[in-house]
Structure 1
Amino acid sequence: MTILDDILKEKELEVEKLKETYTRQDRAVRQVDVSLYDTFMHAKRMSIIAEMKRASPSKGLINDKVEPAVQGKEYEACGAGTISVLTDQPFFKGTMEDLAAVREVVNIPVLNKDFIIDEIQLDRAKDYGANVILLIAAALPKERLKQLFDYAKKLELEILFEVHNEEEMEVAIEIGASIIGVNNRNLKTFEVDLATTERLAKMVDTKKILLISESGIKTRADVERVRDVGARGILVGETMMRSANLKETFDDLRINL
């Protein structure tokens, strides 16, 4: 059993409960119509998806004192292109309320970062103000990923389609993903290697497909490595959550494309 297997098993239980308790009328969160794809593809500097996460299975507790609305506003002020909010509770200590709190105070795209296995999670993401959702290739069979991909599009949600090897990249291309995140962290072992982005970038036309490099990006040199193979965006979580000076961290990573 890998960490991903454990998370997905827990997610199945969560979805069962959600189907019993969740109704679409539960929320009236502010909706902001902005596109991650358009914003990133037209940017002149590296775009950053700044992540909000209190904890992770690989690092344990990272920052449990974070106030989502405060952090979200600061991320936007410092130049974030999108804010990713981890909403998984058991493994990452996040909630959907965190997502709603960020959506209320920022005007940039908000990504609901979770382990999506069912349409009801997409309904909920939309209701809570998300613009973008995450689909993880390693989590589900291709046919199921395609169903969720199509349903998200119907809800006018953008999809960050996450891959971490060649087979998964082929699935992303076949499904028609226009935003592909290459996770440099192996979801089975949790080891990180930026060479994953360098390797998989060769498989896509980065003039049409928005390539995002995720995990393990800490320094300007890291950003240069992924930029040089066509990434126009990076997802940065732990580095942002631990930063003592967010403005400095953003300025350092937002290099020219």
Structure 2
Amino acid sequence: MILDILAESSRKRVNELKAVVSLDELKARIYNGNKVKSFHQREEFALEHVFRENRAVSKKGKNETGEKGFSLICEVKKASPSKGEIAKDFPYLEIAKEYEKGGAAAISVLTEPEYFKGNNGHLTEISSSVSIPVLRKDFTVDEYQIYEAKLIGADAVLLICALLDKDTLKEYISICNELGLSTLVEVHSEEEIKMALEAGARIIGVNNRNLQTFQVDFNHCINLKKLIPPDIIFIAESGIQKAEDISALKAAGADGALIGETLMRSKDKKEMMAYLQGKNHS
């Protein structure tokens, strides 16, 4: 299965990195005495703060500009295992800046090199060039990757329940909390939602894509929404392609959506973002 292949690739990559820079050395680069160093100007847990601010706007109805507070996490990725190369031309920094101008709440950056053609350098450049939070999207199978995420400038990391047991997930969330990193905990089933909640997840992303088969069912996240407590931030992932999809997610009570391929294939990303959110645009 593809998820197993991605996990094994991550383990191999981490082992190679550890041979060059040990975990202890990595930690030493992050900690200044007992204090965690800051690698950009944004506050700790910036991703969660943005979501909760936007949720507050939604409850009031609209903000000063007349917009409701639904959050878009816009993704920067060149390729994927299921679709191959998505973007032949890949001006990742320009794409990220366009997302920010288009009103993205956050930017997701793929750093997995083998199947998604990403790298850490993309994230570092993007993080230092935008003011909104940056999520590192990779296949985290070792605590080393969490410290690495902090070092390269991420504000948040993706933790996939299907790759971890509950104790490990809880441990990784605790490490992120210590480092001031938000965690987007990805689930695909009722069992994984329970696991995420018991591990202390505060942001849960329901992936409409089954990572074993890579099949997508848009309604999957809507069907599982009822299992997520109201104090938990709920994000929909995968298969979001049109304005009606966003409308359905808003009606279901979602706080936001992570959108990748739909935006990456769009020539005018700001225009696509406006369309998805049902906004008038010129």
Describe the shift of the 1:29–1:173 C-alpha distance in structure 2 as closer, same or farther (beyond 3 A). Answer: closer
Q: Which moved more, 1:49-58 or 1:240-249?
A: 240-249
- Tell me the residue number matched to 2:7: 8
Paired position in structure 2 for 1:251:
274
- The counterpart of 1:224, out of the listed 247, 270, 278, is 247
Give CA deviations for 1:140-160 in whole Å, capped at 9, x if unaligned: 111111111111111110000
SS in 2 for 1:162: strand
Task: Give the length in aligned residue pairs.
Answer: 254
1:30 aligns with 2:40: yes
In structure 2, the partner of 1:234 is: 257
Give yes or no for contact 1:51–1:83 (8 Å, CA) kept in 2: yes
Q: Are residues 1:41 and 2:88 paired?
A: no
In 1, the alpha carbon distance for the partners of 2:257 and 2:276 equals 9
Q: CA deviation at 1:88?
A: 0.1
Specify which structure has the bigger relative contact order, considering alpha-carbon pairs within 8 angstroms and separated by 6 or more residues.
1
State the alpha-carbon separation in 2 of the partners of residues 31 and 7 from structure 1.
32
In structure 2, runs of 5+ residues without a counterpart are 31-36, 55-67
The corresponding residue for 2:98 is 74
Indicate conservation of the 8 Å contact 2:40/2:153, yes or no.
yes
Mapped partners of 1:93, 1:14: distance in 2: 14
Contact 2:167–2:199 (8 Å) recurs in 1 = no
Kindly indicate whether the alpha-carbon contact (under 8 Å) linking 2:77 and 2:260 is maintained by their aligned counterparts in 1. Answer: yes
Deviation at 1:255, TM superposition (A): 4.9
- Measured against aligned partners, the alpha-carbon deviations of 1:38-85 in whole angstroms (never above 9, x if no partner) come to 212222332110000000001100013212221111110111100000
Comparing 29-38 with 218-227, greater Cα deviation is found at 29-38
Query: Aligned to 1:235, what secondary structure does the other structure show?
Result: strand
Structure 2 CA distance for aligned equivalents of residues 241 and 193 of structure 1: 20
How far apart are the structure 1 equivalents of 2:271 and 2:148? 35
AA of the residue aligned to 1:108: I
Residue 109 of structure 1 corresponds to 133
Secondary structure (helix, strand or coil) at the match of 2:116 reads coil
Aligned partners of 2:197, 2:250: CA distance in 1, in Å? 20
* Gaps in structure 1 of 5+ consecutive residues: none
Deviations 1:106-136 (A, max 9, x none): 0000000000111111111101110010000
Alpha carbons 2:107, 2:133 under 8 Å: kept:
yes
Cα-to-partner distance string for 1:205-245 (whole Å, 9 max, x where unaligned): 23x11100000001011111222111111000001111111
1:83 paired with 2:94, answer no
Q: What corresponds to 2:238 in structure 1?
A: 215
Structure 1 counterpart SS, 2:128:
helix
Q: Give the % identical residues.
A: 42
Secondary structure of 2:184 counterpart = strand
Q: Distance in 2 between matches of 1:16 and 1:81?
A: 34
SS at 2:141 equivalent: coil
* TM-score normalised by length of structure 2: 0.86
CA contact (8 A) 1:31 1:129 kept: no
CA contact (8 A) 1:68 1:101 kept: no
Q: Could you state the TM-score of these two structures normalised by the residue count of structure 1?
A: 0.94
Please say which of residues 2-11 and 58-67 is displaced more in the overlay.
Answer: 58-67
Q: Which residue of 2 aligns with 1:56?
A: 80
Quick one: which amino acid aligns to residue 105 of structure 1?
S
Largest Rg, 1 or 2:
2
2:215 equivalent in structure 1: 191
* Cα deviation, residue 254, structure 1: 2.6
CA distance in 2, matches of 1:41, 1:221: 24
Which residue matches 1:21?
A: 20
